Amino acid sequence: MHLDDWRFSAKRAWQNSFIRWTILVDGLVILASSAFMLWRLIPAGLRTGVLVMHYNVYLGIDSVQAWPWIIAVPAVMLLAFTVNTLLALGVYRPDELAAKALVSLSAALTAVWCIAGFFLLLMNI
């Protein structure tokens, strides 16, 4: 796929209200929850030097990292959102259903990520 084909597909996809509003709301939720999580966790990490990164109900705390690793959590979600959005916009013209599925998958991943971020906050604060 050439850049001009992708741009034409993206323009057509942006005209679809479901795709446009899902991308906008999903992006805003990711930015707001990332900002809130980093606002709460960075001071806790600076105080202790480490943060709990994963909790398993069978083993308990099984991953403790230095506090700068907390930046990787929102960065991975932002990367997944960006890749899904770019793919959805590019695939819209040949397959509208696949584009809607990618955008919906991104929204579902964001919901799961927000829940995981909430419990990560509970573990560290």
What is the reported pLDDT for 111? Answer: 95
Which residue stretches of the chain are H helix? 3-14, 17-48, 72-91, 96-124
Question: Taking all residues of the chain, what is their mean pLDDT, rounded to a whole number?
Answer: 90
What is the pTM (predicted TM-score) of this model?
A: 0.85
The burial class, CB within 10 Å (0-12 / 13-18 / 19+), for 107 is: middle
Q: What's the confidence (pLDDT) of residue 51?
A: 84
Cβ pair 68, 46 in contact under 8 A: no
Residue 48 pLDDT = 87
Picking from 25, 67, 20, the residue whose alpha carbon sits closest to that of residue 42 is 67
Q: How far apart are CA 34 and CA 74, in angstroms?
A: 6
Residue 26 and residue 81 in contact, taking contact as beta carbons nearer than 8 Å: yes
Condensed to tens digits (0 to 9), the pLDDT of residues 49-74 reads 888 887 776 777 777 888 888 888 89
Average the pLDDT over 64-91 and give the result: 91
Q: What is the pLDDT of residue 16?
A: 93
